[in-house]
A and B are shown apart, each in its own frame.
Chain A
């Protein structure tokens, strides 16, 4: 008979690490979020202010704007990555000349650090030096200035994210497609299903767990995006996403209390968004069991 103590003993290092580096900081942020704390205030130290920080963020137009921008960024970037990632994964399940080379090159962006991705794209799109504004101006008469047009800055951030993270989606989709048994697909074809019907009624249901996991990971990543966009546009109008807004409140402004409350609300929004998506994709309803 197994001794449960052995299990706990084996788990204890992980649990201790989790408590120290995960749970304790969370508790700390939770406590700080109920306080006014700015180290450069006339009166130093934490001062309990109840729910003031949360009341403040509800009326903080900059914060609300950053949430709206982040959602736009996440929706467009992730939707594009999923579609492109699926198509590329489908392509990679087939044989074609240079497939191995393509797979290696296609995975390159994943290996680049986010800060370097931001730097590369900044060099590409900075007016006066970057090739993108130069060619757009010369051949299409388009003024491409991410510092002057917030929509262009947002669009560039989305394209940069797609470039960086589509390979990740491709790889997970490829794994999911490879795991689909051949029999149901062949059975569907024998029964006269066309390609769209095979995709909708066979492939997609089998891919659903992989899709869900991939989208969850990408949502969490997209909502906390800071470094790439920071390098690209410094978090100016059009790219002042929630992560960057939190960074500005916590670091240059040293407003730790307010920054903590925004962090917690952002975490809450992320969880809610993932849960809603889980319901939508998995099709689960109240009371249903797996």
Chain B
């Protein structure tokens, strides 16, 4: 017995020693590889989101401690991030060594050749290639940041889907369930159809009013002063009705139905009509809400259900210092029209938005080597789990199996499982090299429809015409 105990102790000691050696080796590798750049400062810019804030607050400090390379990371508003990054890359000023590349803008950046090919850059600099960083470890979301040859231009740092969130405490309350069933003649449940969604929305709005509660039936990301409203319509509501690729037919160079587009088609009008019909059941801040305010409204308990970006799911469900609905958040697939899920399963469409982004190195960067080390640091498997738990984002296949994520998954009602299993039903933005240009053209029409100045059919008809004019001006039109 004593002998066995000694053997177990020795084995444990050997394992511990081995682990500490591996860790020491890892530390040595980062220090050695970064030695020529120690003391340098690399600068980056990104949108202020939970995953980005984790990078700024946690990962940057860890990297500096390992390498001596300082990371200045600017987290700013979405609009500012784009204009700062594009101005810097276009003017070749070299202010930023790494920039956030949202999935929807990658095609524009690649078309302009703004970004360094990370795969070949690492291959050309073997001394900087960290063995713990493996491009094949990323989920298929990384494919959005690859060229036709499979070379990577951005290290994925966030990836999530826009899901349907609902308040379990309301949906599972016996009195509320009885009241709903009495009024509508069927049981209260998370919505699986648009009619059911509308019933839920109307019911909870009336319920909130009758109980003198600050409660409404749904979120609507309907800001009339921000592109967020256009995004919710084109990337979440539209696809759930079967309107894909913003209704723009790139081959035909048109958004108009008459020319092969679909932005002014029946499906689009039906989708916009439904979405606008939800406004009376949304909190009063809905017409001033971007994705951030929608998450805040839901976290404040002001909406019974809604479409919320998944990056917010974790903190809404678990962070008591910021959320009033912790422990009561239900997560489901967004509602879809008949046949949409089947089409998505067959690869002929998608049900909603697979959002996310990556960090890339602009050609204008003056510190490409040091930045490559940084990107490999954030792209290695070992930092992923805690980052995923904090930011509800997963970029590595193996992260789904991490015990920390399994634990978090239970608290967020299976959000991570949904992301893993149902994620392929969602899709990123269409591969347009003119993303922001065309979206800017559509914005005013969606905003005027929200204000009631245009009917859904008028708004989309005028938007489709304006898109065609812009496509023509940009050289992508008919």
Q: Which residues of A contact B (CB under 8 A)?
A: 36, 38-44, 62, 126-129, 133, 143, 145-148, 150, 153, 233-237, 239, 248, 251-255
Which residues of chain B come closer than 8 Å to A236, judged between CB atoms? 223-226, 447
Instruction: Give the residue name and chain of the B residue nearest to A122 (CB).
Output: B288
Determine the distance from Cα of A41 to Cα of B476 in the docked complex, in whole angstroms: 8
6 tightest CB-CB pairs across the interface, nearest first? A234-B225, A236-B225, A147-B287, A42-B475, A147-B288, A127-B284
Contact of A147 among B83, B87, B225 (CB under 8 A): B225
Contacts A143-B284, A148-B224, A239-B225; is A41 near B474 (CB within 8 Å)? yes
> Nearest Cβ in chain A — how far from B174, in angstroms?
29
Determine the distance from Cα of A248 to Cα of B223 in the docked complex, in whole angstroms: 16
Q: How many contacting A-B pairs (Cβ < 8 A)?
A: 104
Bitwise, B432-447 to A at CB < 8 A (1) or not (0) is 0110110111001001
Which residues of chain B come closer than 8 Å to A248, judged between CB atoms? 440
A252 touching B285, Cβ below 8 Å: no
Q: Which residues of B contact A (CB under 8 A)?
A: 79, 82-83, 86-87, 90, 108, 111-112, 214, 222-227, 283-289, 297, 302, 433-434, 436-437, 439-441, 444, 447-448, 450-451, 453, 473-476
B83 touching A42, Cβ below 8 Å: no
Instruction: Give the residue name and chain of the B residue nearest to A44 (CB).
Output: B112
Which residues of chain A come closer than 8 Å to B225, judged between CB atoms? 147, 153, 233-237, 239
Which residues of chain A come closer than 8 Å to B223, judged between CB atoms? 147, 234, 236
Which residues of chain A come closer than 8 Å to B83, judged between CB atoms? 251-252
A252 touching B451, Cβ below 8 Å: no
B interface majority secondary structure: helix
Which residues of chain B come closer than 8 Å to A143, judged between CB atoms? 284
Which residues of chain B come closer than 8 Å to A255, judged between CB atoms? 437
> Nearest Cβ in chain B — how far from A270, in angstroms?
24
Instruction: Give the residue name and chain of the B residue nearest to A145 (CB).
Output: B284
Which residues of chain B come closer than 8 Å to A253, judged between CB atoms? 436-437, 440-441
B224 touching A42, Cβ below 8 Å: no
A41 touching B440, Cβ below 8 Å: no
Residue from the set B222, B225, B434, B475 with the largest chain A CB neighbour count within 10 Å: B225
A145 touching B287, Cβ below 8 Å: yes
Determine the distance from Cα of A148 to Cα of B226 in the docked complex, in whole angstroms: 13
Which residues of chain A come closer than 8 Å to B441, judged between CB atoms? 253
Contacts A147-B286, A252-B79; is A39 near B112 (CB within 8 Å)? yes
A150 touching B451, Cβ below 8 Å: yes
B86 touching A254, Cβ below 8 Å: yes
Determine the distance from Cα of A234 to Cα of B226 in the docked complex, in whole angstroms: 6
Which residues of chain A come closer than 8 Å to B287, judged between CB atoms? 145, 147-148
A-B pairs with beta carbons under 8 Å apart, 27 shown: A38-B437, A40-B108, A40-B112, A40-B434, A40-B474, A41-B473, A62-B444, A127-B284, A127-B285, A127-B288, A128-B285, A133-B284, A145-B288, A147-B223, A147-B224, A147-B225, A147-B285, A148-B224, A148-B287, A234-B225, A234-B226, A237-B444, A237-B451, A251-B83, A252-B227, A253-B440, A255-B437
Instruction: Give the residue name and chain of the B residue nearest to A146 (CB).
Output: B288
Instruction: Give the residue name and chain of the A residue nearest to B87 (CB).
Output: A251
> Nearest Cβ in chain B — how far from A290, in angstroms?
45
Determine the distance from Cα of A116 to Cα of B324 in the docked complex, in whole angstroms: 28
Determine the distance from Cα of A127 to Cα of B286 in the docked complex, in whole angstroms: 8
Known: A146-B288, A252-B439. 10 other contacts (CB 8 A): A39-B90, A41-B434, A42-B475, A44-B112, A145-B284, A147-B225, A148-B451, A236-B447, A251-B87, A253-B441
A42 touching B474, Cβ below 8 Å: yes
Which residues of chain A come closer than 8 Å to B451, judged between CB atoms? 148, 150, 237
A252 touching B226, Cβ below 8 Å: no
Contact of A41 among B284, B439, B447, B475 (CB under 8 A): B475
Determine the distance from Cα of A126 to Cα of B288 in the docked complex, in whole angstroms: 7
Determine the distance from Cα of A44 to Cα of B222 in the docked complex, in whole angstroms: 34
A128 touching B284, Cβ below 8 Å: yes
A128 touching B283, Cβ below 8 Å: yes
Which residues of chain A come closer than 8 Å to B286, judged between CB atoms? 147
Which residues of chain B come closer than 8 Å to A39, judged between CB atoms? 86, 90, 112
Determine the distance from Cα of A237 to Cα of B111 in the docked complex, in whole angstroms: 33
Determine the distance from Cα of A105 to Cα of B240 in the docked complex, in whole angstroms: 54
Contacts A40-B474, A254-B437; is A237 near B288 (CB within 8 Å)? no
